[in-house]
Chain A
């Protein structure tokens, strides 16, 4: 869907990628496979699986909201008679979705962090190859 593209990033920022931004573009299934390789303790693995399911559910919820927002935004852009106020409404709606999604995804990021050791975290989420300028 278009929202994964420029329009989506303009409206929703990083959460527009359709899933948790901290996966770095990967999917829940890829993350689960990577976690298997780290061989966490069995009791920890259950907790991790629970968190992964929540991440997946959050991604699905975001995808649905994003899809509706995309449809409404594209209709507003295509219609010659759309008043300026309609764009403000859509922007407010996008910001509310973005705030909620960021909060939930950050909560889940920190939950997952607490379930993995420092070295497991580093293996799972290495820094990107290019460091940003300060």
Chain B
């Protein structure tokens, strides 16, 4: 009887210790996640974009078990990365040119229009290619798989463009 009581007490103590350990582990994980998030937000935009793209690739590996479709997605994500890095460079150049032109007191309207039109053509071409890549990702996923990937695409598109 006494032995059973002692065994129960040991079990309860073990359960409490395990519970405490689980709570502690959850706190540690939460803390590490916060630290990781904080350091990610401190990354320069180019590194931030690459980190978000990498997270999307990891999510594909985790959520899409069908190898041919996973390969299609990875190829589309590679294309996304190339397009966005290239757009970042084009945007930075455009911004400097725009501010340089604006600083000139004798700048003409035609000069502004020419600069804006050239950048718009480049931006619209990039946007068209990105929509195509997005639709390729949609075609390579099921609705449920996309639910797990869409938040990563949103995060990629939330990075500031000044690389």
Contact = CB atoms under 8 A, between A and B. Distances in A.
B95 interface: yes
Interface residues of B, number: 45
Contacts of A113: 105
A40 interface: no
In the A-B complex, the 6 residue pairs with the smallest Cβ-Cβ separation, listed nearest first, are A7-B157, A127-B103, A80-B143, A121-B105, A78-B150, A80-B146
Nearest to B104: A127
A127 to B, nearest CB: 4
Nearest to B49: A6
13 contacts: A2-B157, A6-B159, A7-B157, A9-B123, A9-B161, A14-B116, A84-B131, A87-B131, A106-B112, A122-B103, A125-B103, A128-B103, A132-B100
Interface string B110-123: 00110010011001
A10 B131 CA distance: 11
A102 interface: yes
Contacts of A4: 160
A21 B127 CA distance: 21
A43 interface: no
B131 A6 contact: no
Contacts of B112: 106, 109
B100 A10 contact: no
Given A13-B123, A77-B154, A87-B131, A126 B161 contact: no
A127 B99 contact: yes
Interface in A79-127: 80-82, 84, 87, 91, 95, 98, 102, 106, 109-110, 113, 118, 121-122, 125-127
B11 to A, nearest CB: 47
**Residue in A87, A95, A109 with the greatest tally of chain B CB atoms within 10 Å:** A87
A74 interface: yes
Contact of A13 (B84, B119, B156): B119
A30 B43 CA distance: 28
Number of contact residues on A: which range applies?
35 or more
Interface in B53-94: 84, 87, 91, 93-94
A77 B159 contact: no
Given A5-B159, A24-B102, 6 more contacts: A6-B159, A9-B91, A14-B98, A77-B153, A91-B124, A128-B103
B96 A131 contact: yes
A41 interface: no
A13 B120 contact: yes
A11 interface: yes
A79 to B, nearest CB: 8
